[in-house]
Structure 1
Amino acid sequence: MTLSEESKYQKALEWIHSTARFGSRLGLERISKLLTLLGNPERSCKFVHITGTNGKGSVTAFVASVLKEAGYRTGMYTSPYLEDFRERIMINGKKIPKKALVDLVDEVRPRVEQMVAEGYEHPTEFEINTALGFLYFSREGCDYVALEVGLGGRFDATNVVTPAVSVITTIGYDHMDRLGNTLAQIAFEKAGIIKPGIPVVTGALEDEPFEVIRKKALELNSRLITVGRTPWATVTWEEVSYSLDGQEINVYGPDFTYRNLKVPLLGRHQQQNASIAVAALHAAAPANRERRIYLDEKAISVGIERTVWPGRLEVLHRNPMIILDGAHNPQGAKVLAEAIAGIPRRRLICVYGILGDKCYEEATAHVIPQCDEVIVTRPHTPRALDPGILAGEVKKYCPNVTVESDSNKALDLALNRASEDDAILCCGSLYLVGPARTFIRQRFGISPYGGE
């Protein structure tokens, strides 16, 4: 890419990010108007639409990988990104090229200006990103798109599609200021992606959220497929093996069985996420003709095995072992704590930073008791919790605490203090894990996710 082309790309990114000043307002009017002005590109693709408090990104990655292995040209739309904005919009595992993004911004920007001139509210940054994604997937002739919800579901900008299947992974406490203070309220918002007559798959089987999802599916005549370890679940799984190199599971459904399915992502919670992805793809197979997915057993097994989803219990380096995890709410922190309990090491050094609008006390209580040393730092966002405040909370569980606000210096400290048989865990926020991943990749010569 020439200097002038790189300059155009940076200017396109600057414009996208400048729209953050319009806030994060939920609602479908702005995105619907923008897509209409762009010729409704979302109507030319088929979708697997995925929401949930935790696991939605992993399920999106599993689904996209399987569809690619099945021979479909597959888009994947996720948020937030870790290292590179272009990770949010990918086709067949490759990030959108810089020039393509520049061209799409040149097309979308005048339509945004037209909207505002006509008296509409300015679209939010997420709405613009979503429109860019739909336009790219349409232009590139994607057969299917694994589409991750940004926030909630009912009024999320992605909720303008009629998918082949809707997926609600789990329901937990997060974004309560936007979605409600009870699991039932949060479930109601996420159940907003259920569409009339379209199957819905869920792993949220706790009484309160499940009842909300069940009622919504019944109301809309949507077949409900449940995924869990309860006797009444439609789809269930069992662990065959588990190690730091991955895990194997058997997945059982009403009309399918997959034995020794290799799941490369770490953490036993990924057993459920992989099972949800398998259930969703099977649920879409008998859907109405124009949206149905045709799969074979090999596409499922190879697709699951080849799934890449960085920054989520990712072992990026060995000797010393460096683990990255973006868990940022109590449910995710509990899962992380269970996973690191089984990691062999002499000492565990944690580089830790979290956002001020998260339940940091509960997240800290789950993870930090297992740590021998903690270096508290600041994630790369204005929403970051002050490291001094976080350090006070950390000291309740681990007395060996250092404060270093610069995350790169914090990682340097950890690397200098770690021996080869120690483990370094960097966690608390994707806004910390993303820059940390870049720093560690460059230190050890590791290739970027999704190509250059």
Structure 2
Amino acid sequence: MKEIENNQWIANYRTDQPHFGLERMVELLALRGNPHLKLKVLHIGGTNGKGSTIAFLKKMLEKLGLRVGVFSSPYLIHYTDQISINGESISEARLEALMADYQSLLEGEVVANLQGTTEFEIITALAYDYFASEQVDVAIMEVGMGGLLDSTNVCQPILTGITTIGLDHVALLGDTLEAIAEQKAGIIKQGMPLVTGRIAPEALTVIDRIAEEKDAPRLAYGTDYQVRHQESVVTGEVFDYTSAVRQGRFQTSLLGLYQIENAGMAIALLDTFCQEDGRELASNDFLGQALEETSWPGRLEIVSRDPLMILDGAHNPHAIKALLVTLQERFADYHKEILFTCIKTKALEDMLDLLGAMPDTELTLTHFADSRATDESVLKEAAKSRNLSYQDWHDFLEQNLTDKKEEKQTVRIVTGSLYFLSQVRAYLMERKNENGYTKD
């Protein structure tokens, strides 16, 4: 698997400075016969909640008997996981074959517009190519960054969704909610329905304006559909859902109060899809089964119960706030040990302010090997200036995954970057294969 990720050819196109523009994608896909225009696409953007919402939606669509392609990044376990059909990742052999096709295009008589093509553009084009060749019934495409000029935004979707708007990638997208909303709303298409999640009023005003300009019917959280939390149970969250076409009580399989909003939006997306596609609405029992069967690694994922350790991909202030709310709600009486790091484009100081304010918490910073990662010197200086611990993450895991006699119940949380969690998860899987790291 690492051979694909570190393939010298694709590595040559890797950059920590994303390209904003669609001209290369249009040119590249045209050379491949415009596969993106042959697909029934659901295009999902937003700051947080995209992955979980897509996971819920994918499971619902699969249970309808559809072949569902999903493009989602970054990957958490294997490089191939970015591209899947009905939960089965593209095979290494197929991915390598498609990469060879794109290598021939990009290293042949290169069209001027293709110079400077990035890895993300290639893998996005490759996903469209694969889904079209496999004749999926529907393709769910997750926006990489922003929306308006994101590489995924060459499609002509039948339905779009914007989950949340928060301050993220501010150096690239803008430093206000309004500016970021302008970018996120770029995926809205003329006359195509839009479903929105829980979004702050100042950002929602921007989205409403653009949706109106494009005559895009909008189904809004809190207005056109509502979710209300009922209780937290060991296996998930129980909530009531209400819209013009559905009322019912459901339970998520994923922990976290924010997951009821993601699940609710997934229901709204599914109902809208069925209406647009001329299908009967699914029953509540059907949806309930799908929600309870949904899994999404790296989101409040318990990787060890004794000692208790959780992985969570909170990678911006908005997500950190949601994580802290859940920790306070579920683990109020626990001592908390948090291991944190992030990539360069994230608001490091803002996230440290939030984490540092959590009661009864010991915060440790770390660095991971990735060109996108925040420089180790920056993290060490932040730890020093804030009087925080700094530790190699491998040492942290080894130290904290051994049995301890603790005076107070303790929960350990590893968070801050999905790229980081990918490495942590791989390490834990290898460790488990050697001697086991979980205890039921």
Same fold (TM over 0.5): yes
Partner of 1:222: 216
Counterparts in 2 of 1:210 and 1:10: CA distance versus 1, 3 Å: closer
Does residue 1:270 correspond to 2:259, yes or no? Answer: yes
- Letter matched to residue 317 of structure 1: S
Partner of 1:84: 78
Match of 1:366 in 2: 354
Q: Is it true that 1:384 corresponds to 2:373 in the alignment?
A: yes
For the Cα contact (< 8 Å) 1:323–1:425, is it kept in 2? yes
2:227 is the counterpart of 1:237: yes
Q: Which residue of the partner structure matches residue 338 of structure 1? A: 325
Q: Percent identity?
A: 33
1:48 to 2:42 alignment: yes
The residue correspondences of 1:241-390 to structure 2 (distance < 5 A) are 241-259=231-249, 261-287=250-276, 291=277, 295-297=281-283, 298-344=285-331, 346-368=334-356, 369-370=358-359, 372-386=361-375, 389-390=378-379
How far did residue 342 of structure 1 move?
2.6
Superposed CA offset, 1:383-442 (max 9, x none): 433456546655787x6x43223x222211222485584321101111221111122233
Letter of the 1:247 counterpart: E
- Sort the Cα spacing of 1:293 and 1:435 in 2 relative to 1 into closer, same or farther, 3 A: farther
Q: Which residue of 2 aligns with 1:169?
A: 163
Structure 1 position 357, deviation (Å): 3.0
Secondary structure (helix, strand or coil) at the match of 2:319 reads helix
**Residue 171 of structure 1, CA deviation:** 0.7
Question: 2:438 maps to which residue?
Answer: none
Task: Please tell me the residue identity of whatever aligns with 1:49.
Answer: H
Matches within 5 A, 1:378-417: 378-386=367-375, 389-390=378-379, 393=382, 401-405=388-392, 407-416=393-402
Could you tell me the TM-score, scaled by structure 1's length?
0.88
**1:150 aligned partner:** 144
Residues 393 and 24 (structure 1 numbering): CA distance in 2 closer, same or farther, change over 3 Å?
Answer: closer
Taking a change above 3 Å as real, the CA distance of residues 322 and 115 of structure 1, as seen in their structure-2 partners, is farther
SS in 2 for 1:250: strand
1:209 paired residue number: 203
Further displaced range: 272-281 or 385-394: 385-394
1:154 shift after superposition: 0.7
SS, match of residue 13 in structure 2 = helix
Change (3 A) 1:414 1:284: same
Deviation at 1:256, TM superposition (A): 1.0
The alignment partner of 2:151 has SS state of coil
Q: Deviations over 1:132-190 (max 9, x none)?
A: 11111112221011110001111111111121211011111011122112111111111
Q: Which runs of 5+ in 1 are unaligned?
A: 1-5, 447-452
What SS is found at the alignment partner of 2:7? helix
**TM-aligned CA distance change 1:136 to 1:314, over 3 Å:** same
Classify 1:32/1:292 alpha carbon distance in 2 versus 1 (closer, same or farther; 3 Å).
farther
Whole-angstrom distance in 2 between the partners of 1:178 and 1:111:
29
Counterpart CA distance in 1 for 2:354 and 2:5 is 42
Q: Is the 1:226–1:234 contact (alpha carbons within 8 Å) kept by the matching residues of 2?
A: yes
1:139 is matched with which residue: 114, 133, 136? 133
Is the Cα–Cα contact under 8 Å of residues 328 and 429 in structure 1 kept in the other structure? yes
| Residue 370 to residue 243, structure 1, CA distance change in 2 (3 Å) | farther
Query: SS at 2:373's partner residue?
Result: coil
Q: How many residues align?
A: 429
Displacement of 1:292 in angstroms is 5.1
CA contact (8 A) 1:65 1:307 kept: yes
1:83 to 1:380, Cα distance in 2 relative to 1, 3 A: farther
2:278, 2:50 → 1: CA distance? 21
What amino acid maps onto 1:241 in structure 2? E
Q: Is the 8 A contact 2:5 2:79 kept in 1?
A: no
* TM, length-normalised to structure 2: 0.90
Change (3 A) 1:165 1:243: same
Please name the residue that 1:450 is paired with: none
Q: What is the alpha-carbon distance in structure 2 between the residues aligned to residue 385 and residue 14 of structure 1?
A: 23
Aligned partner of 1:403: which letter?
Y
> How large is the RMSD of aligned CA atoms in angstroms?
2.4
User: Which residue of the other structure, out of 80, 104, 110, is the alignment partner of 2:104?
Assistant: 110
AA aligned to 2:413 is: L
Counterpart of 1:449 in structure 2 is: none
In 2, Cα distance between equivalents of 1:250 and 1:222: 27
C-alpha deviation, 1:306, in angstroms:
1.5
Answering whether residue 425 of structure 2 is matched by residue 431 of structure 1, we say: no
How far the C-alpha of 1:359 sits from its partner, in A, is 1.5
Cα contact 1:346–1:423 (8 A) shared by 2: yes
* SS of residue paired to 1:19: coil
Distance of 2:204 and 2:272 partners within structure 1: 18
Question: Cα offset for 1:101?
Answer: 0.5
1:174-189 maps to which residues of 2 (within 5 A)? 174-189=168-183
Q: How far, CA to CA, are the matches of 1:431 and 1:359 in structure 2? A: 16
